[in-house]
Structure 1
Amino acid sequence: MTTHAVVLTSLRRAFPLGLLDTPSVDHVTIVAEAGHPHRFPRGGVRPGLPTVGVIEVESIRDTTQVLRAVRQVSALCPVDRILSPVEFGVATAGFLRSALGVSGESFDVGLAFSDKFLMKRRLAEAGLKTARFTRVFDPTGVREAGDSLGWPVIVKPTVGALCMDVARIDGPEAARAWATGPVGERLRADGMPVVVEEYVAMHREFHVDAVVREGEMLFATVSIYFDPLLGRIDDFNGSWIIPRNHPDHDEALALTTRAVKALGLRDGVTHVELFRSQDGFRVGEAACRPPGGGIVEAIHHQHGVDLWEGYWSAALGNEPVLDVVSTEGLVVNVNLPIRPGRIVELSTEAEIRTACPGLIDVRMNMNVGDVISSDLNSSSTTGVVFFRARDEAEIGTTLSSLRRAYRMEVEPAPAEPARGT
């Protein structure tokens, strides 16, 4: 039985506290970045549940610093499992397992699921269709890469998540401005390489979420985003779970199966993004952790499956408990629009409930008076709405009702400190 688990977490993504309710773990050591906003219960939580210790490091991407910290912990209490539910810690967790001889996915697999250049190269080598791509080690190299691939292009950090610092660049002058602007300067200061991809117009963007055990998918579900995510943070975004008889279901699932095998995942949860263009499906990106936004809850509403339970179980070497009980209709998750500033007006939960036929649940994350940072991503939202529809046409009707009802006004907020990593 696993007794001591180390969990790496970052500044940005909320820590899923479900691990701290896991009875098969006696002790959890959380390695968190200094300045993190999380609130961890130190010491014993309650009888029968793990004790919790917290170590702070400058960055969970610094493998040398994190390895030193975990070695010190191991000297006091041997480590049985190492995991990271955040993108920025996936490769480091794999490195620690390989360096310390701890069971679980290796450094090679962690890199394949977190470094977008290496990921796409593996996918291409396996014969999977992706957008054409290259890598530059300095943002100024985007101009030459764009000339080679053809404009416009999409640029993104090789390690990143949730559309953070992802942009479309339309030509050489825009590339020069981006490279010398705030994002380019930050990536250069971080020593972060940049993936440059050809821009491919998407007809539809999909995500497939699955629980994998011994290299096989125990459970998988296919969803369609309302619209491609890039550039839609200040608009309604979200997705709906498609039925098995949908014309795109089987091909999306088959491509995901091939992608997961190509990237080497044996045990865990995967979130794979695909898109369909005029010449068919392409694989976008893949992650080996549960998705953000309201997707996890939507899947639970639709199929009764808890992806976080599946993730923790697989990461701890246990058999995931998957009691699939599928429900009727199409479950939809909606991220309400968000913009930087201080909120001076915001729809109430009661107003959202009144405006949403087929409502399942509403989870408001913010209130009037809250300050919204400019550091937004594709999962940033003032609240998440879950509803059920009979078909795609009814989804559109309900979304129109929500658009008419939703109110959010902001005023300029005080200047923010520089963003951490």
Structure 2
Amino acid sequence: MRSPVVTVGLRAGALDAAERLGRPVVAVVEKAPGPKASARLAGVVVAPFDPEAEPWESVAAAVRAHEPAAVVALTERSVPPAAHLAAALGLPGLPAEAAHRCSDKRAMKRAARAAGIPCADVVEAEDGLRGDEIVERLGLPLVLKSAVGSGSRGTVVVRDAAEVPPALPPGWMAESFVDGVEMSVESFVVDGEAVWISPTQYLEPAWSSLVPAPLPASDREAALGLAEAARVALGVTRGMTHAELFLTPSGPVFGELAARPPGGHLMPLIHHAYGADPWEAVLRLACGEAPGMPAEPSRAAAVRLFHPGPGTVVAAEGADAAQAMPGVEVCSLRVGPGDAVGTREGTGQEVGHVLVTAETAAEAEARLAAAVDAIRVEVDRRGG
């Protein structure tokens, strides 16, 4: 039996990969998992994801008997706790300062600006500016967001000065609007060096993505270079990163960087495009092994998420027809007539998705469009 890995947070892809690699998993979670997931785990520790180091000494005591080989952060909230837990266990991990910079967007933008990296101007709630002063500083439109969080949850683009609050709530920030094409760059980092890097095109931000992004050589070089500069500025020396940026006429502009595996089904996209499982790479890297990712993709992969908005589902059909189409790898709808659907507050919320592959990016886009056209999800919004 190989030494276990400790995951802070729990995601199905990581658990599946650990089983394939013969690595037992000890999960540190804020809420106990259900019986099916628990049966697959070597141990479970329930603990609040407190950002401070001290509580993690007791968590370390609870998992030390398992003699873990590594600690891995799987979610946005788990990045600082995983850093503290790794330090408490004496295992390699992200430095606590870097974990903070990758989790608090205020600290992230300060570090990026200090390194001379192009990024949005920022006003923090702690600056104490009034709404009119924020507009004067940043102009319109501007972006309001929580300093901590993922998946664009709660993020609002404000185009009218009347919609800017009199003051920012504690823990919030405002950013100048970046007029550009949003995309992301994923990488695996070993000993401070990116050993694998790949761009992702956002066909429709928050809804649809394609791997790898079919960028002109100059744009690709600039985007990958900016993502790497941001990673270095934030102090990320190991693990997987997910950097978001904007392509503008004057060059790429940094958005955010997460020191954990991405969501939005980007991990399956990478798997299908490169022919190797990035979840296995995450665990291998954490355990001191080579990630094992091919340098170049073998095909293109694209995904579209479905969410009809709030209401009661009256129709959910076409998944079987879409699944039978050329290149469709996965097509799922998890709702049916009569189901209640809430408001979509972040990119992690969906009622289903379709994933396709093809030899080229253009063909993948065409196959995705055809599959999406076959699917219908409708809701009755009365009382929804």
TM-score bracket for this pair, using the shorter chain length: 0.7 to 0.9
Instruction: State whether residues 319 and 374 of structure 2, in contact with CA within 8 Å, keep that contact through their aligned partners in structure 1.
Output: no
Instruction: Give, in whole Å, the separation in 1 of the partners of 2:250 and 2:93.
Output: 38
Is the contact made by 1:155 and 1:167 (CA closer than 8 Å) also made in structure 2?
yes
- The equivalent of 2:228 in structure 1 is 257
1:217 matched to 2:194: yes
Distance in 2 (CA, whole Å) between partners of 1:101 and 1:141 is 46
AA aligned opposite 1:363? C
Partner of 2:155: 166
Which residue of the other structure, out of 38, 41, 47, is the alignment partner of 2:38? 41
1:408 aligns with 2:377: yes
The verdict on how the C-alpha distance between 1:216 and 1:338 changes in structure 2, with shifts beyond 3 A counting, is farther
SS of the equivalent of 1:346 reads: strand
| Secondary structure in structure 1 of the residue aligned to 2:29 | strand
The 1:155–1:96 alpha-carbon spacing in structure 2 relative to 1, beyond 3 Å, is same
Note the alpha carbon deviations across 1:20-78, whole angstroms, 9 max, x for none: 4165645x332212376684234xx4xxxxx5222223x31454685254044056555
2:16 corresponds to: 18
Q: Distance in 2 between matches of 1:79 and 1:16?
A: 16
Secondary structure of 1:334's counterpart equals strand
- Distance in 2 (alpha carbons) for counterparts of 1:413 and 1:37: 33
Q: Deviations over 1:88-114 (max 9, x none)?
A: 110121123335533211111211211
Q: Which of 189, 193, 197 is the matching residue for 2:175?
A: 197
The letter of the residue matching 1:70 is: V
Aligned to 1:88: 77
Query: Helix, strand or coil: the match of 2:237?
Result: coil
Q: Is the 8 A contact 1:210 1:269 kept in 2?
A: yes
- What is the distance in 1 between the residues matched to 2:263 and 2:360? 24
Q: Which ranges of structure 2 fall in alignment gaps of 5 or more residues? A: none
Partners of 2:189 and 2:118 in 1: CA distance: 22
Instruction: Indicate the residue corresponding to 2:314 in structure 1.
Output: 344
State the secondary structure of the residue aligned to 1:176.
coil
Deviation at 1:19, TM superposition (A): 5.5
The answer (yes or no) to whether the contact 1:209–1:222 under 8 Å persists in 2 is yes
1:53 alignment partner, one of 43, 67, 78: 43
How far residue 300 of structure 1 moved from its aligned partner, in angstroms, is 1.6
Give the match for residue 295 of structure 1: 266
Stretches (4+) displaced over 6 A: none
| Counterpart residue identity of residue 40, structure 1 | A
| Aligned-partner Cα distance in 1 for 2:135–2:237 | 36
User: In the alignment, does 2:110 pair up with 1:121?
Assistant: yes
Q: What does 1:385-396 correspond to in 2, within 5 Å?
A: 385-389=354-358, 394=363
1:318 CA drift (Å): 2.5
Question: C-alpha distance in 1, partners of 2:359/2:26?
Answer: 45
Q: Check whether the contact 1:212–1:218 (CA below 8 A) recurs between aligned residues.
A: yes
**Structure 1 residue 197, shift from structure 2 partner:** 0.6
Deviation at 1:4, TM superposition (A): 4.7
User: Which of residues 235, 248, 269 is equivalent to 2:219?
Assistant: 248
Deviations 1:128-171 (A, max 9, x none): 11111131149986554333222221111111111111111234
Aligned to 1:332: 302
> Residue 331 of structure 2 corresponds to which residue in structure 1?
363
SS at match of 1:87: coil
* 5+ residue gaps, structure 1: 46-50, 230-235, 416-421
SS in 2 for 1:40: helix
Asked if structure 2 preserves the Cα contact closer than 8 Å seen for 1:123 and 1:262, the reply is yes
**Deviation at 1:363?**
3.2
1:413 positional shift:
9.3
- Aligned-partner SS, 1:195: strand
CA spacing shift, 1:400–1:320, aligned 2, 3 Å: closer
AA aligned to 2:221 is D
| C-alpha contact (below 8 Å) 1:371/1:413 kept by paired residues | no
Aligned residue for 2:257, secondary structure, equals strand
In structure 2, which of residues 119, 142, 149 is the aligned counterpart of residue 130 of structure 1?
Answer: 119
1:272 CA displacement: 1.0
1:31 aligns with 2:1: no
SS at 1:248's partner residue?
helix
Q: Give the TM-score taking structure 1 as reference length.
A: 0.79
303-312 vs 381-390, greater mean Cα deviation? 381-390
The Cα shift of 1:344 comes to 2.5
SS in 2 for 1:386: strand
Tell me the percent identity.
25
The residue identity in structure 2 corresponding to 1:196 is: A
Match for residue 92 of structure 2 among 73, 92, 103: 103
- Residue 270 of structure 1 deviates from its aligned partner by 1.0
